[in-house]
A and B are shown apart, each in its own frame.
Chain A
């Protein structure tokens, strides 16, 4: 049976089926759903007439794409050089402990997903983390615990 992803179809339509828009199409689906399912990739392959292997090649090459479902809240911790120098590895360790992030990058209760990013471009505030789009500069342990406890 052909699997259909309505999100993927709608996004592809927006790009008028242009093959070179593959990355842009995947980015939009990723942005909407926070991950790319197998049926999304198959739909994109069919609609753009790009071989599935090429779609997978792109989807696994770029960091922005996730092929597994993400937690409800997204945490990004900046590991850029400026943040590194200011103690980002220590912050990362505390985040993993506090939010109970598993090896897959997501907490067992699917509440939090953690991404390590290489520079958010606000080096002056480092170490920085981003939770659901909100920036936190040098968060204290108390800040982390509050966020972990919040809904």
Chain B
């Protein structure tokens, strides 16, 4: 392990690493982010090792476990370099074929490459439409590096921005660069990072702290996790640069314990950075002293709020406090503390390296640079997407995301998580930036983008978010604690078919109080999911209240499952899948749901083969009388039997 005590030594080490690279040597990269890990990428990795052993290839082939590539839907993702062929949805059983064809010879395993709409195989990852339309400035390096190897980061120019900041720029110049770049916080608020840095820098006191907020609690968003686990050194580099500009000697990373891989990779990264002299009493020989501690969050959404997070770092309950004095001036142990989220910190090295002008050249007037979104829900290409600010929602959801799967209809896209709102189809050409989304009644948030199709009930969605917020409210202030739970009661009764006239207005009225008088942003933004669904989908609320009907067929109390006797092919699949034993029928006999026994779990709907499509969800209409026992099915042409 080299100890780097000057820029020259960092450069020399980087040169050595570059020289040691053999561009012609075959390298197999395997995505090992959480998404691919969940798709058993560890078994794929082991299968490659076994195959290399079997073919005696150990010395001739490199193998690299990389961070998240973003296209999580298609995991496990394997790329063979230098040919640059990417295989998707790789299972351990596919590995032998990949090695025999793609490693030992120059063939391609066609069935595992991406196929475009015309059925044409796409070999290079960059040519896949999902990636082609993105600008992965912050996220792009993930797929080329091993997050557990600092050399893997350095060989790609890692820590050169830190060297530049420490030796070619004064702290003030670094600060000015970030200000000129107009970098706005990526965690949700969009507050100018440079201004916040300046406040902490100017605050009185010798001891100052910098914090990485990796308490990504917004359900349905995982950008920060993928950055931290896939490229921890970039986040760390940004943090050290920030500490230099601010004059902080100690950093903290507050990370959710639900992200075990991120915690592991981060701890490894910190150890390596210490060994290399990039953390410690004399960072890169500059005389700056800086180190970082990791705090694992114990599961509380409100702890992502800055003052709450700082309480949690102190070992106390993570509750927000009134911010008459901002945390930038009085934070952890009452010392000036600057907090930014993972993505913001990870953007800093790029700004220092490429300059503020490069950064301001991307994006819209008030929102510069790129932003990573977690494009999830009812969308064909699920995954992480990085696009310039100003890209339209339509481009993200349809051009990159491939639209809604199946023949379902797009209904809305939700941004900003529990603090945000839904955006319906007519606003799809909206340019994504901090201000435009706010104008549409939603917000940027940390970057969750959840696509909803016709099967998503908007009242249920509002109820879902309010239920989440009611559980996560710390209960310290009355408007949030009581207001949210009252709103949840109203929404719950609407979903249960017990809604009353005037409920919509009541929700609006409570919203005003919760919005105006809560202590922190959790309460202050809590009504957004309700208000935006009322604004854009009032008819759905009215259908629930007046007609006791859930148009999306999602609210359990308002729906019935029914097997269409004309379509049922008596395949017995739904019958076997019913955990309540509520479906009767037999070979060649039409299956019937006993409405009294049915628990409305939906197992039959999920189980019914799509080619039959016989299980129906009924709402607002009476369930037809069941067919007489012993009724035979009407066979589709071509026949089908169980």
Against B, the Cβ 8 Å flags (1 = close, 0 = not) of A80-105 are 11111111011001100110000000
Contact B75 A65 (CB under 8 A): no
Q: B315–A19 contact, CB under 8 A?
A: yes
Q: Could you tell me the dominant secondary structure of chain A's interface residues?
A: helix
B258 with A121: CB separation less than 8 A: yes
A57 B464 Cβ-Cβ under 8 A: no
Supposing A90-B602, A124-B382 touch, asked if A81 and B577 sit within 8 A by C-beta, the answer is no
Stretch from A6-14, A21-29, A106-114 contacting the other chain: A21-29
User: Per a CB cutoff under 8 Å, which of A21, A62, A90, A128 touches B38?
Assistant: A128
B577 engages A140 (CB within 8 Å): yes
Most chain B CB within 10 A, of A27, A58, A63, is at: A63
Interface check B403, CB cutoff 8 A: no
CA distance A87 to B456 in the complex (A): 9
Residues 104 to 145 of chain A near chain B (Cβ within 8 Å): 117-126, 128, 135, 137, 140-142
Verify A122–B414 contact, CB threshold 8 A.
no
Query: Which chain B residues numbered 549 to 575 have a C-beta less than 8 Å away from chain A?
Result: 556
B522 within 8 A of A: no
Interface status of B225 (Cβ within 8 A of chain A): yes
Does B221 sit at the interface, judged by CB under 8 A? yes
Q: Is the CB of A64 within 8 A of B376?
A: no
**CA–CA, A54 and B314, complex, Å:** 13
Contact B258 A97 (CB under 8 A): no
When distances are taken between beta carbons in the complex, the residues of chain B under 8 Å from A85 are 376-378, 450-453, 456
In the assembled complex, B222 has its CB within 8 A of some CB on chain A: yes
The residue from A21, A90, A119 contacting B222, defined by CB atoms under 8 A apart? A119
CB neighbours of B276 from chain A (8 A):
none
Contact B258 A124 (CB under 8 A): no
CA–CA, A33 to B607, complex, Å? 38
Contacts of A123 in B (CB 8 A): 72, 220, 222, 374, 376-377, 382
A115 to chain B, nearest CB (A): 10
Query: Cβ of A135 and Cβ of B300 under 8 Å apart?
Result: no
B579 lies within 8 A of A141 (CB): yes
A90→B606 contact, CB < 8 A = yes
A124 close to B219 (CB less than 8 A): no
How far is A65 from B318 in the complex, measured between Cα atoms in Å?
14
* Residues in A neighbouring B456, C-beta threshold 8 A: 85
Given contacts A90-B602, A118-B217, contact A97 B38 (CB under 8 A): no
Contact A62 B298 (CB under 8 A): yes
Contacts of B38 in A (CB 8 A): 120, 122, 125, 128, 135, 137
Judge if A20 is at the interface, Cβ distance under 8 Å: yes
A97 touches B72 (CB 8 A): no
B435 at the interface (CB under 8 A from A): no
Q: Is the CB of B448 within 8 A of A81?
A: yes
Beta-carbon contact of A87 and B318 below 8 Å: no
Residues of B contacting A61 with CB < 8 Å? 300, 317-319, 474
- Give the residues from 60 to 84 in chain A that come closer than 8 angstroms, CB to CB, to chain B: 61-65, 79-84
A27 to B297, CA, bound (A): 9
> Closest residue to A21 on the B side, CB-wise?
B315
Q: Are A97 and B39 in contact (CB under 8 A)?
A: no
Q: By the criterion CB–CB under 8 Å, are A124 and B295 in contact?
A: no
Task: Return the contact of B376 from the options A126, A135, A137 (Cβ within 8 A).
Answer: A126
Residue of chain B at shortest CB distance from A93: B601
Question: Nearest Cβ in chain B — how far from A26, in angstroms?
Answer: 7
Q: Determine if B312 is an interface residue (Cβ-Cβ < 8 Å).
A: yes
User: How far is B312's CA from A50's CA once the two chains are assembled, in angstroms?
Assistant: 15
In the assembled complex, B259 has its CB within 8 A of some CB on chain A: yes
Return chain A residues, CB-CB under 8 Å to B295: 23-24
Whether a CB of chain A sits under 8 angstroms from the CB of B35 is yes
- Count chain A residues whose beta carbon lies closer than 8 angstroms to a beta carbon of B: 48
Q: How far is the CB of A65 from the nearest CB of chain B, in Å?
A: 7
Residue of B nearest to A18 (CB): B315
Interchain CB contact under 8 A, A119 and B580: no
Decide yes or no whether B55 CB sits under 8 A from chain A.
Answer: no
| Contact call B312/A23, Cβ cutoff below 8 A | yes
Q: Per a CB cutoff under 8 Å, which of B216, B220, B258, B556 touches A82?
A: B220
Q: Are B258 and A81 touching (Cβ within 8 A)?
A: no
Known: A121-B258, A123-B374. A80 touches B219 (CB 8 A): yes
Question: Which of the residues B37, B72, B453 comes within 8 Å of A124, measured between beta carbons?
Answer: B72
- CB-defined contacts of A83 to chain B, threshold 8 Å: 220
Contact of B301 with A by CB under 8 A: yes
Given contacts A26-B298, A81-B450, A82-B220, contact A93 B376 (CB under 8 A): no
B541 to chain A minimum Cβ distance, whole angstroms, is 19
B464/A84 in contact, CB under 8 A: yes
Interface string of B253-267 (1 = CB under 8 A from A): 000011100000000
Across-interface contacts of B556 in A (CB, < 8 A): 89
Cα distance A142–B456 in the bound complex, in angstroms? 26
**B599 in the interface (beta carbon within 8 A):** yes
Considering only residues 416-461 of chain B, those with a C-beta below 8 Å from chain A are 417, 448, 450-453, 456, 461
Q: Is B603 an interface residue (CB 8 A)?
A: yes
Q: Which of A26, A57, A120 contacts B258 (CB 8 A)?
A: A120
CB distance from B639 to the nearest CB of A (A): 25
CB of A141 within 8 A of CB of B607, answer yes
- Which chain B positions have C-beta within 8 A of A141? 576-577, 579, 603, 607
The 8 closest A-B pairs by CB, nearest first: A63-B299, A62-B298, A124-B72, A80-B219, A135-B38, A81-B220, A82-B376, A121-B222
Q: Which residues of B contact A (CB under 8 A)?
A: 34-35, 37-39, 72-73, 75, 216-222, 225-226, 257-259, 295-301, 312-319, 374, 376-378, 382-383, 414, 417, 448, 450-453, 456, 461, 464-465, 468, 474, 556, 576-577, 579-580, 599-603, 605-607
Query: What are 17 A-B contacts with C-beta separation under 8 Å?
Result: A23-B295, A26-B298, A27-B298, A61-B317, A80-B220, A81-B417, A84-B461, A85-B452, A85-B453, A90-B603, A94-B603, A121-B259, A122-B35, A126-B376, A137-B39, A141-B603, A142-B577
Point out residues on A near B: beta carbons under 8 Å: 19-24, 26-27, 50, 54, 57-58, 61-65, 79-87, 89-90, 93-94, 97-98, 117-126, 128, 135, 137, 140-142
5 additional contacts (CB under 8 A) given A82-B450, A123-B374: A27-B257, A93-B599, A119-B221, A123-B382, A140-B607
